[in-house]
Structure 1
Amino acid sequence: MTAMPETATPEHYWYGEDPSPAEMLEALRAFRRADAAMRRRTAADMAMNETDLRALQVVIARELDGRSTSPHHLADVLQISTASTTKLVDRLTRSGHLVREAHPTDRRGVVVRATPHAHDEVHERLAGMHARMAGVADDVPRAARPAVVAFLREMTAVLDDDEPIAPLTTAPTAVDGDA
């Protein structure tokens, strides 16, 4: 069995003696796993891949915010190539979920817009889950909400940090006679 570093405990590894941060982070990890699984299930249930569903959500969210969406913006948000974005927009156009339109201010540009069919389908399939999620959020005591929001935003900033992590190194090998 491998020995743990002196500062680590089996329960809290590098989080120290107070179990609260470890419990909070484990709850956050469980949420992230559940969120990823829900996105996979939702995409599969809607007979789409996850990237197509995410693109549709981006376009709809921007429309609800009064903004248009260019294919270039989708490529940036989804972190995919322009060629992949073209294929994605082609698929969602063929399926009746998106339409291409002339850009309102750039004669050479194009924007994509969700069709009424797409809005109806997404709302029909996700409204119940969103209502349940809003109910859970509503159950958080009002006084605790700013702390919860701050925690989640700070965790987002940590996860969005682009600082590279050093690669793992090879463990030293045992010398003959050492055991």
Structure 2
Amino acid sequence: MTEPATGAPYWYGDREVVAVLEALREFRRADQDMRRRAAAGMGMNETSMRALQVVVAAERQGRTVSPHHLARALGISTASTTKLLDRLVASGHLVRSPHPHDRRAVVVTATPHAHREIRDRLAAMHQQMADVAARVPARSRAPVRRFLEEMAGLLDAQDAAPLEPAADAVDLAAAD
């Protein structure tokens, strides 16, 4: 297989498909940048911000969050979760409490301070996002939603299998 000509889409042929995928990539980049800025503005890293999102979302659904659940949701070790929780408790964003039905277990809840800070930082942006979504014609909303859900599912299903080295690659370890 030969490399594509300069300026040509790498593995897509249809220019309209390329334009849609480029717009999706630009949205993902802007979303990641916004999350970094929001986390930095709250004096925390992105994992801490994501932890707050997990806890607040669970609370809004009437569910409790354990440190174990948080570790799974964030894809980090229990030791890293303990350090993360220590930081968020010290900063006044989260509280650890005994589980209401199992006193041996712990639940994590967001403080009023965390809710205020998230609301103050994100409410205007969320409203602007809702305004943009409302401008999508009603008949197009379901197809757009399905497109985004399918893309998310596709990305979630990708594994991290290592790439194979090229057959003509030089073995640097053997050369030593």
CA deviation map 1:40-83 (0-9, x unaligned):
11111111111111101110111111111111111001111101
Match of 1:99 among 95, 98, 122: 95
Counterpart of 2:56 (choices 57, 60, 73) is 60
> How many angstroms apart in 1 are the aligned matches of 2:56 and 2:83?
19
The alpha-carbon deviation at position 169 of structure 1 amounts to: 2.4
1:85 aligns with 2:81: yes
Secondary structure, counterpart of 2:95 in structure 1: strand
Per-residue CA deviation, residues 132-173 of structure 1 (Å, 9 max, x unaligned), is: 111111111110001100000100111011444451423637
Mapped to 2, the partners of 1:22 and 1:117 lie a distance apart of 44
Which residue number in structure 1 is paired with residue 119 of structure 2? 123
Which residue of 2 is the match for residue 108 of structure 1? Answer: 104
Residue aligned with 1:72, SS:
helix
Identity %: 59
- What is the one-letter code of the residue matched to 1:52? S
Task: Please tell me the residue identity of whatever aligns with 1:53.
Answer: M
2:142 to 136, 146, 161: 146
User: Residue 4 of structure 1: CA displacement?
Assistant: 2.6
Residue-by-residue CA offset, 1:93-125 (whole Å, 9 max, x unaligned): 111111111112222110000011111111011
Aligned to 1:12: 9
- 2:34 matched residue in structure 1: 38
Q: Secondary structure at the match of 1:27?
A: helix
| Residue correspondences, number | 168
Task: Detail structure 1 runs of 4+ shifted over 4 Å in the superposition.
Answer: none
Question: Structure 2: any 5+ residue segments left out of the alignment?
Answer: 170-176
Residue aligning to 2:173: none
Secondary structure at the counterpart of residue 113 of structure 2: helix
- 2:21 aligned with 1:25, yes or no? yes
Q: TM-score, normalised on structure 2?
A: 0.88
RMSD: 1.8
Higher relative contact order (CA 8 A, sep 6+): 2
Taking the aligned partners of 2:159 and 2:48, their CA distance within structure 1 comes to 29
CA distance in 1, matches of 2:34, 2:27: 10
Paired position in structure 2 for 1:69:
65
